């Protein structure tokens, strides 16, 4: 698959700290890409370089295989920053037209597209209202519309669901899937891991300006799995069933067992063992770590390592 966006060895230094330190990754065309990291990891700086707001100190950005040119290429990008911003005193229709025109749409085209989106999101009656009259969730919807209105090939959404109720969050989520199916590439920045698991194909985790994880969601889960399994039976589990070197028991709930497999054996060995014991297996599955767990584990590990370095140095 072709890469829509590729960044190589990107670096950005501010007077007090290195915000982005040698980060590289590639985003496939039409994929939903998750950029994750704790607060202050350098996500926003990274996104600002991709949107041409900041110039990188070092490294390169390629859009569609071409070197990124901030002046011409920004019309291909739609960026919704984490801190939402709209002119409070401006009428909503006019504001949407203005923002679309800045992205290079003509007034007529902008008007038509805004009407379509407003109908889709049931916002028709908002046209002559001002942003200050809207609730937080409503202005969020408006912000989303203005971000994707000019049909950019790359859509960057920084925390798109914050402040939205479940109904509206689903509305936006469906739109994200639909846009991705239409071939738009979406970069999705957040620290809400359950949304990432649900939405993203590929993720990159950054912390303290460095990339610490890169891969597809399923691949990462495989990499971080701890050979944990859950098995449940028709019958109650007896002590003789668990006193075995095939696995270590993590928890025992009477009819359900969670265990860590011993690396020398396969799952078939274990199933064979239970079958031989005459137990009827009700269900058996591997417990993969949630992204949340991986995230916390990795992020908590980094500062400790750094502290250690500074002590020995």
Partner 1 sequence: MNKIGLIIQREYLSRVRNKTFLLSTFMLPVVMILFIVGSTFFAIKSREKRKVAVVNDPGFFKNNMKSDSSSVIFDFNAAADSTNYQAKGYDGILYLPTSSNNYELRSMKQFGLDSKGYIERQLNKAIENNMLQQRGIDKSTLDSITKISDKSVDLNNIVKEKNGSVRQANAGLAYGVGFGSGILIYITMFIFGAMVMRGVAEEKMNRIAEVIVSSCKPFELMMGKIIGIAGVGLTQFLLWIILIFALLSSMQLFLPTETLQQIQEAQQSQQNIPGGANNAMAMKIMETKTALVEGVNWGVIIFFFLFYFLGGYLFYAALFAAIGSVINEDPQEAQSLMLPITMPIIFAFIILTSSLQNPNSPVAVWASIIPFTSPIVMMGRIPFGVPETVPYWQLGLSMISLIGGFLATTWFAGKVYRTGILMYGKKASWKEMAKWAFRK
Binding mask 217-256 for partner 1 (x = CB under 8 A): ----------------------------------------
CA distance 301 to 223: 16
Contact predicate 10/210, CB 8 Å = no
Q: 189: how many CB neighbours lie within 10 A of its CB?
A: 24
Least distance between partner 1 and beta carbon 260 (Å): 46
CA distance 147 to 76: 11
186 interacts with partner 1 by CB under 8 A: no
114 interacts with partner 1 by CB under 8 A: no
Tokens of 274: 């239970």
Q: Which is nearer to partner 1, 146 or 213 (CB)?
A: 146
Tokens of 62: 């390629």
53 interacts with partner 1 by CB under 8 A: yes
In the three-class reduction of DSSP (H, G, I as helix; E, B as strand; rest coil), residue 144 is classed as helix
By CB under 8 A, what part of segment 67-86 binds partner 1? 71, 74-75, 77, 79-81, 83-86
90 interacts with partner 1 by CB under 8 A: yes
Q: Which is nearer to partner 1, 99 or 193 (CB)?
A: 99
117 interacts with partner 1 by CB under 8 A: no
98 interacts with partner 1 by CB under 8 A: yes
Phi, psi for 168 (deg, rounded to 5): -70, -35
By CB under 8 A, what part of segment 285-304 binds partner 1? none
35 interacts with partner 1 by CB under 8 A: no
- What residues have CB less than 8 Å from 75, skipping those under 6 apart? 103, 104, 150, 152
Least distance between partner 1 and beta carbon 135 (Å): 16
Q: Which residues bind partner 1 (CB under 8 A)?
A: 48, 51-53, 71, 74-75, 77, 79-81, 83-90, 98-99, 101-103, 143, 146
């Amino acid at each position: 698959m072709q890469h829509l966006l590729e960044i190589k060895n990107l670096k950005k230094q501010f007077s007090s700290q290195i915000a982005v330190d040698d980060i590289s990754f590639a985003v496939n065309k039409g994929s939903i890409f998750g950029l994750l990291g704790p607060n202050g990891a350098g996500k926003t700086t990274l996104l600002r370089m991709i949107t041409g707001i900041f110039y990188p100190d070092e490294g390169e950005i390629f859009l569609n295989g071409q070197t990124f040119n901030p002046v011409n290429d920004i019309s291909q990008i739609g960026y919704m920053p984490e801190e939402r911003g709209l002119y409070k005193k401006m009428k909503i229709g006019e504001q949407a037209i203005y923002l679309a025109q800045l992205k290079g749409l003509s007034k007529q085209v902008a008007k038509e597209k805004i009407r379509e989106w407003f109908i889709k999101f049931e916002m028709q009656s908002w046209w002559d209202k001002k942003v200050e009259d809207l609730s937080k969730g409503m202005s969020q919807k408006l912000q989303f519309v203005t971000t994707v209105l000019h049909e950019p090939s790359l859509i960057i959404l920084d925390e798109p669901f914050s402040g939205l109720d479940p109904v509206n969050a689903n509305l936006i989520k469906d739109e994200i899937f639909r846009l991705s199916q239409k071939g738009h590439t979406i970069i999705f920045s957040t620290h809400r891991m359950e949304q990432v698991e649900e939405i993203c194909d590929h993720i990159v985790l950054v912390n303290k300006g460095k990339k610490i994880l890169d891969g597809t969601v399923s691949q990462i889960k495989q990499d971080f799995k701890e050979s944990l399994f859950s098995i449940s039976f028709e019958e109650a589990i007896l002590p003789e069933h668990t006193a075995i070197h095939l696995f270590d028991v993590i928890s025992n709930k009477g009819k359900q067992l969670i265990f860590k497999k011993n690396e020398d054996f396969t799952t078939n060995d274990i199933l064979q063992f239970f079958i031989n014991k005459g137990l009827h297996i009700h269900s058996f599955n591997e417990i993969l770590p949630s992204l949340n767990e991986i995230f916390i584990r990795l992020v908590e590990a980094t500062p400790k390592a750094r502290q250690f370095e500074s002590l020995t140095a």
